[in-house]
Amino acid sequence: MNYIIIIISAIFVNNIVLAKFLGVCPFIGVSNRVETAIGMTGAVTFVMVIATIVTYLLQHYILIPFGISFMQTITFILVIAALVQMVEIVLKKASPVLYQALGIFLPLITTNCAILGVAILAVQNDYNLIESVVFSIANAIGFGMALLLISGIREQLKLVDVPEPMKGVPIAFIVAGLLAMAFMGFTGIV
Amino acid sequence: MNRWKNFNKGIFRENAVFVLFLGLCPTLGVTTSVINGVGMGLATTFVLLMSNIVVTLVKNFIPDKVRIPSFIVIIASFVTIVELLMQAYLPGLFDELGLFIPLIVVNCLVLGRAEAFASKNTFVSSVVDGLGMGLGFTMALFFLGGVREILGSGSFLGFKFIPGDGILLFILAPGAFIALGYLIMIMNKINKKTA
């Protein structure tokens, strides 16, 4: 039951992009086409889950026992940067097809605040390892869903006559606002 | 390029939020009031300035291949300093900003300036660039925070001048997106006129 609450809360009620404002840069940056949005979602899911597991272990077996949890920010971001690099190298060798699909998105992920944000949130919420994994997967799904929704809408928007200064990013923000408003309807389920 | 142009490009022509679309997460996340927005802006300006200074000083000693991880460590150190200082001296603001303080590390603006400017330019111009970019970012947060606070709670800097509750929507998530969308539109219009 606990897991179901975590999942629903992360995907719908506290959607990582539309309610918590994490990962807004890729949300606006790569949502021009549905195809790139799918690629980005894949890469984010991959890195987010691995990063959450590794940072969980680091936090509970190194930072806390040695009393150096003020080093959290530095350690976590280094782990994520190293992970992204490693994932890139491994993917290149192991699965060239997947690398072709995700390759260009991987470097962008280091500075995606959703990854670091989820890692820190999982620690702050005192989740155990399994809960952390569930939490990170659910957040990745939430991120993917928001990204797919807005990229679908933005593809349609290209055919619409939008006032000149509104074209591109401003209208994307307003659409995102309307989406966020729709997502507010889920408040109170959990 | 003269100093003044270098300084004010961060505020207008290359404004981080309105033109380059960098650092959007804290922009949207903390601007429920003017104070929060400006607090976040100044914290980011400090990190940006200090990391620009350190990066420009050590740029010749860092091998090209490991420069991004090195920049991240430099930035993360200053973020930790800000985090600890704020926790000690401004606990109220620290609680309000919460998660977004450690997230200054992944603010693309900071890493972007280190990589694109400070690692290629002299000490003085890096300082000027850091200040300009930081103040431009703070200004954007000030405007967005102002709009959201006035519309959302009918007050400015905590002084209430409209009785009642205001439009709650602007304090919540959707209002952030919509207000920023309109602000970018206005900025587009202004930039087009001056260009």
Domain membership flag for residue A179: yes
Query: Which chain B residues are within 8 Å of A178, Cβ to Cβ?
Result: 174, 178
- Relative orientation angle of helices A113-124 and A129-157, to the nearest 10 degrees: 150
Does position B48 have pLDDT exceeding 90, yes or no? yes
Longest dimension (CA), chain A: 60
Q: Which pTM value belongs to this model?
A: 0.86
b/e string for A101-140 if b means 16 or more Cβ within 10 A? bbeebbebbbbbbbbbbbbbbbbeeebeeebbbbbbbbbb
pLDDT tens digits along A63-88: 888 888 888 888 998 888 888 888 78
The confidence band for B195, taking pLDDT boundaries of 50, 70 and 90, is low
Q: Which residues pair with B160 in a beta bridge?
A: B155
Q: Is A189 exposed, middle or buried (0-12, 13-18, 19+ CB in 10 A)?
A: exposed
Joined together, the tokens standing for residue B164 give 């009642």
Distance of CA B112 to the CA centre of its chain: 12
Domain membership flag for residue A190: no
Given an 8 Å threshold on Cβ–Cβ distance, is A70 in contact with B84? Answer: yes
Q: How many of the other CB atoms lie within 10 Å of CB of A188?
A: 7
Domain membership flag for residue A115: yes
Q: Which residues pair with B155 in a beta bridge?
A: B160
B159: enclosing H helix or E strand? strand B159-160
ipTM of the complex: 0.83
Interface probe with B: pick from A83, A112, A154, A173, most Cβ of B within 10 Å: A173
Domain membership flag for residue A162: yes
Given an 8 Å threshold on Cβ–Cβ distance, is B76 in contact with A77? Answer: yes
Backbone angles phi, psi at B38, to 5 degrees: -70, -40
Q: How many of the other CB atoms lie within 10 Å of CB of A97?
A: 8
User: CA–CA distance from A128 to each of A52, A65, A153, B128 (Å)?
Assistant: 11, 16, 37, 46
| pLDDT of res. A103 | 63
How confident is the model over B136-155, as a mean pLDDT?
89
Domain membership flag for residue A188: no
pLDDT tens digits along B84-107: 999 999 998 888 888 888 888 888
Please name the member of A23, A71, A81 whose beta carbon is closest to the beta carbon of B69: A81
Among A46-55, A104-113, B87-96, B127-136, the range scoring the smallest mean pLDDT is A104-113
Interface probe with A: pick from B36, B94, B105, B106, most Cβ of A within 10 Å: B106
The answer to whether A174 faces chain B, any CB pair under 8 Å, is yes
Q: Which residues pair with B156 in a beta bridge?
A: B159
Cβ-Cβ contacts under 8 Å for B176 (sequence gap 6 or more)? A21, A177, B28, B29, B31, B144, B148, B170
- Nearest CA-CA partner of B102 in A43, A69, A57: A69
Residue appearing with tokens 């944000």: A117
Given an 8 Å threshold on Cβ–Cβ distance, is A110 in contact with B68? Answer: yes
Domain membership flag for residue A173: yes
| pLDDT of res. B46 | 94
Print the domain residue range for A167.
Answer: 6-183
Domain membership flag for residue A36: yes
| pLDDT of res. A190 | 67
> What total of structural domains would you count in chain A?
1
- From chain A residues 32-51, the ones with a CB under 8 A of any chain B CB are none
The confidence band for A95, taking pLDDT boundaries of 50, 70 and 90, is confident
Distance of CA A144 to the CA centre of its chain: 7
- Nearest CA-CA partner of A35 in A171, A155, A168, A157: A155
Given an 8 Å threshold on Cβ–Cβ distance, is B181 in contact with A28? Answer: no
| pLDDT of res. B188 | 85
Summary mean pLDDT of chain A: 86
Does position A53 have pLDDT exceeding 90, yes or no? yes
Cβ–Cβ < 8 Å for B26, B134: no
Residue A132 to residue A121: CA distance in whole angstroms: 9
- Nearest CA-CA partner of B38 in B117, B128, B141: B141
Please name the member of B72, B103, B172 whose beta carbon is closest to the beta carbon of A117: B103
Domain membership flag for residue A1: no
How confident is the model over B34-55, as a mean pLDDT?
92
Interface probe with B: pick from A21, A55, A116, most Cβ of B within 10 Å: A21
Among A18-32, A53-67, A165-179, B117-131, the range scoring the smallest mean pLDDT is A18-32
Summary mean pLDDT of chain B: 86
Nearest chain B Cα to A120, which residue?
B99
How confident is the model over A112-141, as a mean pLDDT?
90
